[in-house]
Structure 1
């Protein structure tokens, strides 16, 4: 390359490339740093502009660009569970791939003032958007509190009018599990709910009701018990259901933690699973195959949901001041049949 040509290429800036490609300078930076958040057609347009203009970013410019790291936040519970582990795994891996910094804040309870204060602090620290799982996204959406940055919901249980999110169809998934239990002969199916403060508590219960009603089976209030997300909260509901004069032949719990509690209580009572009691869960986290027998459950791709939410949040953070699309994206779920369910008395 001649000296004149070299001087010409050096006079081309990232803004020049962005103008030629019809994109933002941040998008050009994302393409040059090989980040996955750029659509293929956009990437092709940027690379074409780079080639046509002979753009050669120097080392100092690359260093400056990397210093302006995109930051997103994650608000989460501080309990240990497979659901949270999958969220952390998906979000951390995706942020690493995108070159995005993830700031984590954990909470013992769904305390609105503490939650708002934490998000305010993250925003002051350069966080441009936040991702949150239930009950935190549910609480923020329900109260409609004004926040300094947008929030993207992880598995919110249903689409939220005022907040973007990524989820599965919880109601359809719960209906499919209940239909499966009916299809193998169960008519008395107990159900353990997830917790009144979680939106998925309602949608999964409605799915259970949908399937029973479609099969002509009455929803019996005595067969519905209330849990609160974690393993320990499932022990008392399981005891209550199994102590009924006419106990259920199957229990469908709203997550795997609650289902594991049912299995534990059944073992203590000397019940054979699945011959005397079928047990089903929801989520298909690591716990589902660590208990005996391994759990029939709904596979919710929690890590993929968290990764997709992180991508949405990064896109929002990279376009401050732009309108936020409140759409909720849905990923696929599937029914996973293992050894914890069988026909009654099989």
Structure 2
């Protein structure tokens, strides 16, 4: 979002309402968590807030004890429903507390590129940094944290990082749990669509899948492991390869909902009965999980809670740097959500 807009260019609540096709009162209810709004409406409002850069005039409403006015957010601009939902959640948390966001997307960047982007945001007024994988891991290295001079936090990493505060779930245990659920239902030829190796959460989820197989005396077969990049398109290619195997998998666990939705697409094209012929699971519990047929059994990440905890930590670190000298690791609970795809 860069520098603050002049008043004549300020995005209004009416503009958000028009984008979503709801009343300004409904937008206000979503922002203030009052009244009633369906989950679908809420998520569309949050997405519009993030897309338009709407910031309410709520300078008096700040995080408890906060003095932070501007946070820089760095993320990878891949086509991902989870990334979009995370951006929307962060935007709403910031708007609720009168915090300006600078948002920067970088693709296929090196650690040096990410560090340069962070330094540029700091020069433009960012008092703290909020990061998403894989750039959290890159800046978590001491070589690229030195000289930034501002606190940094990361959402949705798979592990604690030595120089950045992390807010996450236990990705490995979550993937083990959902794979175990399929095993308990009698599935024995379980394949996986993993995430890219540079994403720590993708690596942890692959390990969790393997943990479940080994714990049940099942073989970890590389032929049943395909790699995607968390996009729908990569899920299509991975599903085609896995469903060409003989014997064909009787279940596919995907490491995010986008790729799981792609598996359903290919399975329908091939005339498979779901879940009789093939069980499919996702990860994240994004909006797409309930917009496909059958709706996805998946792992729910508490996106809003992660965003809130990260912003609260950053606010405290700006106000009291002496109390936040040592980065923390906040692990929130995940939830297995059973639907009809498994």
Q: What's the TM-score, normalizing by structure 1?
A: 0.77
**Partners of 1:258 and 1:86 in 2: how far apart?**
16
* 2:127–2:318 Cα contact (<8 Å) kept: yes
Alignment of 1:115-130 (within 5 A): 115-130=114-129
Is structure 2 residue 247 aligned with structure 1 residue 220? Answer: no
Corresponding residue for 2:332?
A: 331
Corresponding residue for 1:294?
A: 295
**Partners of 1:132 and 1:273 in 2: how far apart?**
37
Corresponding residue for 2:23?
A: none
Is structure 2 residue 283 aligned with structure 1 residue 282? Answer: yes
Corresponding residue for 1:244?
A: 245
How far apart are 1:323 and its partner, in Å? 4.8
Corresponding residue for 1:107?
A: 106
Corresponding residue for 1:154?
A: 155
The one-character-per-residue Cα deviations of 1:164-186 (angstroms, maximum 9, x if unpaired) are 11000101100110110001000
How far apart are 1:293 and its partner, in Å? 0.9
Corresponding residue for 1:81?
A: 80
**Partners of 1:69 and 1:331 in 2: how far apart?**
24
- What SS is found at the alignment partner of 1:219? coil
How far apart are 1:97 and its partner, in Å? 2.4
- What SS is found at the alignment partner of 2:140? helix
The alignment of Structure 1 onto Structure 2 pairs a total of residues equal to 282
* 1:116–1:147 Cα contact (<8 Å) kept: no
Q: Which has the larger radius of gyration?
A: 1
Corresponding residue for 1:166?
A: 167
* 1:177–1:335 Cα contact (<8 Å) kept: yes
**Partners of 2:147 and 2:166 in 1: how far apart?**
16
**Partners of 2:322 and 2:147 in 1: how far apart?**
13
Quickly say closer, same or farther: Cα 1:327–1:321, change in 2 above 3 A: closer
Is structure 2 residue 140 aligned with structure 1 residue 141? Answer: yes
**Partners of 2:319 and 2:117 in 1: how far apart?**
21
User: What residue ranges of structure 1 are gaps of 5+ in the alignment?
Assistant: 1-31, 40-67, 342-346
* 1:235–1:262 Cα contact (<8 Å) kept: yes
User: What residue ranges of structure 2 are gaps of 5+ in the alignment?
Assistant: 1-58
The one-character-per-residue Cα deviations of 1:92-149 (angstroms, maximum 9, x if unpaired) are 1222222222111112333333322221111112211100111111222247413412
Quickly say closer, same or farther: Cα 1:100–1:318, change in 2 above 3 A: farther
